[in-house]
A and B are shown apart, each in its own frame.
Chain A
Amino acid sequence: MSHKEPQVVVLPPDKEKIKKLWRVALILLAVTVVEFIIAFTLPHGAMKTFLFVFLTIVKAGYIVGEFMHLRYEVKVLFWAVLIPMIFVVWMLVAFVYEGMMIIPQ
């Protein structure tokens, strides 16, 4: 029995799409560099933490939206993934706040 190799049609690279992916990569690296600058210039405190969390969410948005392609999925899928995460953020805020109320030994 002879196996015939399948006929595969290879399409040319989509230059525009690839350029866009590299642009997202550059943004991610740039944001990380900014985080480093903040880490060594600003004093520790609420402002610094807020900036770090904000920049992390920006990075997460680019990874999930562009790399994982969620931005271009159907609306139902988009919200099915995003809405539960709102509860996670709520839980994080609640527990960090609770933690501040615990008196250390």
Chain B
Amino acid sequence: MDHSTAAVSPGKSVWDGGTSPMGASYGKLMMWFFLMSDAFTFSGLLITYGLVRSSNPAYDGAVEAFQFATTHWPIPEKVFDAVPFLHGVELPLVFVGFMTFVLIMSSVTMVLAVEAGHRMDRVAVEKWMLWTLVGGLTFLSCQAWEWTHFIIGTDTPTMMNVFNSKTGVWDQVGVFGANLHVNQYGPPAFADFFFFITGFHGFHVFSGVLLNFLVFYNAVTGVYDRRGHYEMVEKVGLYWHFVDLVWVFVFTFFYLV
């Protein structure tokens, strides 16, 4: 279903109504502008991360000799090297690679749902929306595990100087895992940005799953057939692709660089 209205007939002003500015329906245009504002928010977080990270010294020794310390920013493949059910096996970036694969695939199934919606094919929309939901839920579950592992930490603690606010002295303590105050991987800001950026993205995935379920439910109950078009699939699809897009950036700036 194409909702853009045909070109304005000669002699008639666009301001007389009956035409869609920018050739897109109101809902789609507003979704684009919402996504722009959301992109600014994510940019704010990622740019602040870039500022703080570049102000911290980078690790410049050999990768094999790398040790966690507050004096340098950790290299990601040494932090994110765990996979569920494979305790103690060092598999750098494998799990996050799987998460990236899941999110890209769910973006593909979403775009196939949009394509089916254009053809008014309810059965195909249901099928692809269901796959998209599976992808979204899988990603969220993976992230829950990733966070749990990040918070609990490795088997051996990192010895760190931590300020004790009760006694007013710096204590040498073994730190496990991470919280907003201290973490075993590197400077406190490292874990703070991890929680804020992946958390904010995860919250978007969560909202996306809810919206996808709403669209799936409406498709099943025939709401869009009665309405005569499946444009809602397209609008929620835009949001879902945006969530995938943000992950592409988070993946690069947090896990690769």
Contacts and interface: CB of A to CB of B under 8 A. Distances in A.
A12 B47 contact: no
A44 B58 contact: yes
B86 interface: no
Contact of B119 (A13, A29, A73, A102): A13
Contacts of B121: 10-11, 13
B242 A39 contact: no
A60 B248 contact: yes
Contacts of B39: 85, 88
Interface in A1-15: 5-6, 8-14
A28 B108 CA distance: 10
B120 interface: yes
Contact of A77 (B22, B63, B115, B245): B22
B55 A102 contact: yes
A25 B104 contact: yes
A21 B119 contact: no
Interface string B41-55: 001001110111111
B149 interface: no
B56 interface: yes
Contacts of A92: 43, 46-47, 50
A32 B100 contact: yes
Contacts of B228: 6
Contacts of B36: 81, 84
A75 to B, nearest CB: 9
Interface residues of B, number: 61
B252 A52 contact: yes
B169 interface: no
B122 interface: yes
A36 B149 CA distance: 22
B23 A73 contact: yes
Given A68-B242, A88-B40, A100-B54, A17 B115 contact: yes
B105 A6 contact: no
B245 A96 contact: no
A5 B223 CA distance: 11
Contacts of A60: 245, 248-249
Interface in A33-61: 35-36, 39-40, 44, 48-49, 52-53, 55-56, 59-60
Contacts of B225: 5-6, 8
A68 to B, nearest CB: 5
Nearest to B94: A36
B215 interface: no
B252 A56 contact: yes
Interface of B: 4, 22-24, 29, 32, 36, 39-40, 43, 46-48, 50-60, 63, 75, 77, 92-93, 97, 100-101, 104-105, 107-108, 110-112, 115-116, 118-122, 124, 222, 225-226, 228, 238, 241-242, 244-245, 248-249, 252, 256-257
Interface of A: 5-6, 8-14, 17-18, 21-22, 24-25, 28-29, 32, 35-36, 39-40, 44, 48-49, 52-53, 55-56, 59-60, 63-64, 67-68, 73-74, 76-77, 80-81, 84-85, 88, 91-92, 95-100, 102, 104
Pairs A-B, 3 closest by C-beta atoms: A99-B54, A102-B55, A74-B23
